[in-house]
Amino acid sequence: MENSATGSRFKNTFAQFNSNYFIFYILIGAGVIFSVLSPNFLSLPNIMTILKQTSIIAVVAVGQFFVLVGGDFDLSVGSTVSLTGVVFGGAMVIYGMNPVVAFIFALLVGISIGLINGFLVTKVGLPAFIGTMATMMSCSGLSYLITKAAPIVNLPDSIAWIGRQAIGDVRVFGVPYLTIIMIAVFIIAYFVSEKTNFGRHIFAMGGNSEAAYLSGINTKGYKLTTFVLAGAIASIASVMLVSRLAAADPNAGSGYEFESITACVIGGTAITGGKGRIIGVLLGSIFLALLFNGMTLTNVNTFVQQIMKGIVLAVAVGIDVNKNRKAA
């Protein structure tokens, strides 16, 4: 009887894992395929490249995760990365600010963008698609206006460690600081989403906003907070990206809004809100970085890669919609 109960628990756990983290098997399959197609895929330098690419996408996706779970999405995160990166780089190069002060300044800009998004959605009543698209266009235009469409270079060497150095010897598999920052962000995000009232409330709000409101949850306040989180986390990603590129490029965050949504959805976060796991977001981000890296190594045309991004997003959302329809 005891063995039967243990077996039943194992089956339930395995079934739940398959349901929440099916992307894990896709990730393994993609890794095997690219390792066969390209002998350099599993080389140490390429693994380091994948880790660095994953780190920035994943951090942006964490902010998107909170917005999605709350029942909305943020199309402005990519432009927020670009604008806050320009602010960070410009503060140091043009005004000679200390990197820490420049980061705080960039963080405040990211938070302000989140507040604007939250205000447009919760107070003005705009749909998130319209409100965050308006912010996306404004932030992008402002980035180009500040820089005159030219990257800000000659950044101080004191920030190089963030994006281009590692703990330990990279020849022996040193861990990039970008990855350390990503892990720290995910640990905090896991605690917030799984262990706090805030996390429970945004899941409830995303699952059924009206029921959450009637149960006493300040839905507008929580919704606004998710947009602020997305803006703040995007500014952290911008610092990582600026350091890695050794430049503040006004176009650097282009496409991150769609990649972050894709990473969340293929990692199990429901596009309609109320469902998702932060670990799934990490797996989804690794898959995207691995996929695009593998296509680059196998000489897939850049424009074909763009097509693949659209296909992956459409398939991920289609699977999520179909799964929700079956559950209903």
pLDDT on residue 42: 86
pLDDT on residue 324: 67
Residue 81: name the closest of 282, 288, 249, 258 by CA: 249
3-class DSSP state for residue 67?
A: helix
Q: Does some domain include residue 35?
A: no
Q: Does some domain include residue 145?
A: yes
pTM surpassing 0.75? Answer: yes
Please give the helix or strand (H or E) that residue 265 lies within, else none: helix 256-266
Q: Using the Cα atoms of residue 236, residue 238, residue 244 and residue 247 in order, give the sign of their dihedral.
A: negative
Q: What is the 3-state secondary structure (H, E, C) of 107-170?
A: HHHHHHHHHHHHHHHHHHCCCHHHHHHHHHHHHHHHHHHHHCCCCECCCCHHHHHHHHCEECCH
pLDDT at 170 over 60: no
User: Tens digit of pLDDT for each residue in 60-116?
Assistant: 999 999 999 999 999 999 999 999 999 999 999 999 999 999 999 999 999 999 999
pLDDT on residue 318: 80
pLDDT on residue 11: 64
pLDDT band at residue 328 under the 50/70/90 scheme = low
pLDDT band at residue 8 under the 50/70/90 scheme = low
Q: Does some domain include residue 11?
A: no
Q: Does some domain include residue 113?
A: yes
The range of the structural domain enclosing residue 283 comes to 50-327
Q: Does some domain include residue 44?
A: no
> Is there a contact between 77 and 234 (Cβ–Cβ < 8 Å)?
yes
3-class DSSP state for residue 176?
A: strand
pLDDT at 286 over 90: yes
Please give the helix or strand (H or E) that residue 80 lies within, else none: helix 77-93
**CATH number, domain at 273?**
1.10.3470
pLDDT at 169 over 80: no
pLDDT band at residue 2 under the 50/70/90 scheme = low
The span from the CA of 9 to the CA of 14, in Å, is 9
User: Tens digit of pLDDT for each residue in 176-210?
Assistant: 899 999 999 999 999 999 999 999 999 999 989 99
Which of 90-104, 172-186, 259-273, 285-299 tops mean pLDDT?
Answer: 90-104
Write the single-letter amino acid at 106: A
Q: Does some domain include residue 14?
A: no
pLDDT band at residue 12 under the 50/70/90 scheme = low
Residue indicated by tokens 């180009």: 144
Count of domains for the chain: 1
Q: Does some domain include residue 194?
A: yes
Q: Does some domain include residue 9?
A: no
pLDDT band at residue 24 under the 50/70/90 scheme = confident
